[in-house]
Amino acid sequence: MSSTKLSSLNLMFLIVLFCTLVFVIANVALNHWMFLEERKRERLAELEKVAFSLAAQFPYSTFRGIAADKGAWLAPEAVQVAAINEALQPIVDAMALSHTNIKMGFYSLEHSSVVAIAPNFNPALLRPEERFRELEDIQLTGAAVTGLAEWDGKPVMYAVAPIFHQGRIIGFSFADMQTENIRAEAIARTTYISLAAVFLVLSFVATVFAGFEKLKNDLRKFAVSIASGETQSGQTSFPELQPILNLIKGQALTLARLDRLNLMGEIAASIGHEVRNPMTTVRGFLQYLAAKEDLAKYRSQFALMQAELDRANSILTEFLSLAKERTVELKTMNLRAVIEEIVPLLEADALHANCALKLQFDKTPDILLDE
């Protein structure tokens, strides 16, 4: 395999790393969204609680009653709003001390204006607010109204509690919080979680990488030991792989044994061929001696020796046929041509057996033969 290609273990490691990163990123994003939504619900519940608490501290029956108590009953609206603020601002300031991140105050429908606000009070903030005007025509049941709006160009989440007098709404107490604070808190928490996740991922990746490297080294060492014939060193640090490695080691031992047997077979075949040559010579001289008239009295012994040599030769022939190992090469040939080539051998065997050989050929087709 080319060195530019990734090995299977490296590819597997990259897949594990990619899946881990996707899982971590998805979990961090989901955790961030869930935390943000949970914080929004908690903050809205807190704003609603502050708004109702502020409404419960409204000390007068109506906003115009406050203006009348301050001697500004017939004064212009701006003067009445200032007089009402003088009475209500201390209440709002006291409540704001325990909720520093919440903007709160009172809104008068009778004057269509904010009449008290904290923290960071500024007389310029005593003005009409569009979002409260939108609530003027709503018939509230006493429950707080919550939602999202803009205050001085910044997004806020708010809770508005109605203030009733004789069955009608005369104004509201409100509590606002900038959504940027919630987002900042969520981002800070997500950053902390992300850093922790990065550390854990790096630790996990380092551990997995070390495991993969150890596995690669183990497999490499085992392959080298098998290739070099050192099968006894085929050990691994991974117990799950040990049965496979034991099987491979056993197969390697079997192959080594078969290789030795094959070598012994080749040696035996070579020896067998060398033994047959002198046996053939001896048998030829026995035939020659048996034909002499002056040795006629030994013909029975000659015949016995020839028979034993023939039996030994047949044993060697059978042994060599079993030991022979070569690739079968099939060719299209005619069976008659093959027979005609071995006719001299067949005639010699027939003559040795005191038989006559007669050949009669019909039309023979071409077939696949191993010459």
Query: What is the reported pLDDT for 341?
Result: 77
Query: What is the reported pLDDT for 355?
Result: 82
Q: Is the peptide bond before 162 cis (omega within 30 degrees of 0)?
A: no
- Residue recorded with tokens 């809205």: 44
Domains and CATH numbers, the chain: 8-185 (3.30.450.20), 238-325 (1.10.287), 328-371 (no CATH)
Query: What is the reported pLDDT for 90?
Result: 92
Amino acid at 38: E
Burial 337-371 (b: 16+ CB within 10 A, else e): eeeeeeeeeeeeeeeeeeeeeeeeeeeeeeeeeee
Tell me the Ramachandran region of residue 137: left when phi exceeds 0, alpha when psi lies from -120 to 50, beta otherwise. Answer: alpha
Q: What is the pLDDT of residues 177-187, one digit of tens each?
A: 888 777 777 78
Identify which of 223, 311, 234, 319 has the alpha carbon closest to the alpha carbon of residue 268: 319
Identify which of 47, 48, 77 has the alpha carbon closest to the alpha carbon of residue 63: 77
- Beta strand 168-178 with 330-334: parallel, antiparallel or unpaired? unpaired
Task: Kindly give the parts of the chain with pLDDT less than 50.
Answer: 1-5
Query: What is the reported pLDDT for 202?
Result: 81
Q: What is the pLDDT of residues 237-261, one digit of tens each?
A: 556 656 766 777 777 778 778 777 7
pTM of the model: 0.48
Query: What is the reported pLDDT for 2?
Result: 41
DSSP-H helix ranges across the chain? 8-56, 63-69, 77-96, 130-133, 179-228, 242-290, 299-323, 335-341, 343-352
DSSP designation for 237: S
104 strand-pairing partners: 118, 175
Q: Specify the long-range contacts of residues 257-263, CB closer than 8 Å, at least 24 apart.
A: 262/325
Classified as helix, coil or strand, 129 is: coil
CA dihedral (150, 152, 154, 158) in degrees, to 10, reads -40
- Starting at the edge strand that comes first in sequence, how are the strands of the sheet with 103-108 ordered? 113-118, 103-108, 168-178, 154-165, 145-151
- Do 113 and 126 form a contact (C-beta atoms < 8 A)? yes
Backbone angles phi, psi at 10, to 5 degrees: -65, -40
Classified as helix, coil or strand, 319 is: helix
DSSP designation for 127: S
